[in-house]
Structure 1
């Protein structure tokens, strides 16, 4: 398999010859305002440009939208992704919303969704601490991850917008992934509480998945992401984690 970091949670997975575009945020730098109630909300999003041309980004077989927050499915994606592109969503509500935007080829992921021999498994996530998620359920919404499985390929787990909690631990135990992709930029909101993984959460995943390679994604691209690549790399070095945890730059690829 091949992984390519584009920007934020936007990545491309090349898996058994099929290319998947995950969580496309395709707007130009500064295309939409910073998120209210978050750190650095005066800074417009995205805070960096895309690293490769749009025709390369859109040269895929399918799109996976883990949830419909603007930094995972923005207005530019709604305009630029072809209306007949196959799009996988986490639930019927997201499918209906995207269908209402003019898309015609939508599938809802379940526990065993098969696409050209590849099994896609929707996994649960929690977009922040338990009390925060309960209090701000409408704002933070439902989120998901996805596991890729194939007899001739490594098992990949994209955790999605989640913090470390028992659901992630259960996913690691159940699917035993070879590669784990974490949204680990420590995005903060509502009193400056993390709503995706911070460096301590990355460490918990590292301990819970002792044979997996871990990739840190969703970094340095939106106003409320508080963990820099530099700080994470320093933490990994201090903990002796650098051999199994990768922190790719935007545009960088990894082959497994």
Structure 2
């Protein structure tokens, strides 16, 4: 299994002989306004993708979309992805994606086997309290296939009971978390902080954690350097913090 970080939460995952595009935010830097009600007015995305779009899409077998907030499936993705590209999604997003003209849409209710890979959808909380209710729905996905490590793409969630339940049920060997401590002017973070990641590893010490979702959207308050200092101080050696374009390999 190879996992390449493209930018933010956009990944290329090579798994069971398939090339999977995860959460495509493919717009040009500065093409979207700042997230509303946040501490600065920097336009998004803040940085370019790690490769040109044509190269990113070359050979992709299908896309996995955790939810359709603009930083996970942006306006550019709705226009530029081939309309016949298979999309694996949470059921709540089916009408929206079909409305964009996509014709090969596969909602994952509880689980679905596609292209020889078992996908199990998991829950999450995109923040806490009232904010989480307003930001819902979001999903994560656990991938399993013969000869591959189990992979949990947690999606936009903080540490919460649904995530704890997913880790208990699936004990994934690799877990991708959306870090950055994204937040609005009021309320708690709506994506993972270092403290949330520490909870993941306290619960499931055998998993390898890949932390993404940093330094690309204006409301993500915690940088890679911030997280690196935290995990080093806590001795969390299982945490990987890739740069844009970096590929991690797991046997």
State if a TM-score over 0.5 links the two structures. yes
Q: Is the aligned partner of 1:210 residue 2:209?
A: no
SS of 1:194 mapped into structure 2: coil
TM-score (norm 2): 0.97
Confirm or deny: 8 A CA contact 1:39 1:192 kept in the other structure.
no
SS of 1:193 mapped into structure 2: coil
Aligned equivalent of 2:229, options 234, 239, 248: 234
Q: Is the aligned partner of 1:89 residue 2:89?
A: yes
Q: Is the aligned partner of 1:247 residue 2:241?
A: yes
Q: CA deviation at 1:87?
A: 0.6
Aligned to 1:108: 107
Cα distance between partner residues in 1 of 2:84 and 2:185: 37
Cα distance between partner residues in 2 of 1:56 and 1:185: 27
Q: 1:133 to 1:249 in 2, by over 3 A?
A: same
SS of 2:78 mapped into structure 1: helix
Q: Cα RMSD between the aligned structures? A: 1.0
Superposition pairs for residues 1-256 of structure 1, below 5 Å?
1-40=1-40, 42-59=41-58, 60-91=60-91, 93-134=92-133, 137=134, 140-189=135-184, 191-241=186-236, 243-256=237-250
Runs of 4+ in 1 over 3 A off after TM superposition: none
- Count of residues in correspondence between the two structures: 249
Confirm or deny: 8 A CA contact 2:4 2:11 kept in the other structure.
yes
Cα distance between partner residues in 2 of 1:39 and 1:216: 23
Q: Which runs of no fewer than 5 residues in structure 2 stay unpaired?
A: none
String of CA shifts for 1:161-200, please: whole Å, max 9, x gaps.
0000111111001001000000011100250420011110
Cα distance between partner residues in 1 of 2:160 and 2:42: 30
String of CA shifts for 1:115-143, please: whole Å, max 9, x gaps.
12100111101010123324xx2xx1200
TM-score (norm 1): 0.95
Cα distance between partner residues in 2 of 1:192 and 1:30: 26
String of CA shifts for 1:37-64, please: whole Å, max 9, x gaps.
1122x11000000011212211210011
